[in-house]
Structure 1
Amino acid sequence: MIISNFLTNRKSVRDFRDKGANPDVLDKIKEIIKNLLTEEDLEHIVVKLYENGKIISTNLEGKAGYGGVMIDSPHYIAISLKDTEEKTLIETGYYTEKLVTEIINLDFGTCWINVGNLSDDLKKETFGEDMANVEYLLAFGKAKRKNPFKEEPYSVKKGIEEIVYDTEVDNFFTVEDLEAKGLMDIFYYVRFAPSTKNLQPWRFLIKDNKIELLLRYNQWYDSILVDAGIAMYYFEQLATYDGFNSKWELVDSQEIKIDEYTYRKIAEYKL
Structure 2
Amino acid sequence: MVNIRDLDPSASPLDYYGSELRRLREDAGLKQGELGVSVFCTASLVGQIETARKVPTRDFSERVDAALGTGGVFSRLVGLVLRSQLPSWFQAYAEMEAKAAYISTFQAQLVYGLLQTSDYARAVLGVRTEGNLDARVAARMERQRILERENPPLSWVVLSEAVLHQEVGGRDVMRNQLTHLLGLRGREWVQVQILPFEAGAHAGQMGSFNLLRFEDDPDLVYTEDFVRGHMTANPQALREGSLRYDHLQAAALSVEDSAALIARVMEERYGDQAEPDGRTVA
Normalising by structure 2, report the TM-score: 0.27
TM-score (norm 1): 0.28
Identify, as 1 or 2, the structure richer in helix: 2
Greater C-alpha radius of gyration: 2
Structure 1 or 2: more strand by fraction: 1
Tell me: higher relative CO, structure 1 or 2? Use CA pairs within 8 A at least 6 residues apart. 1
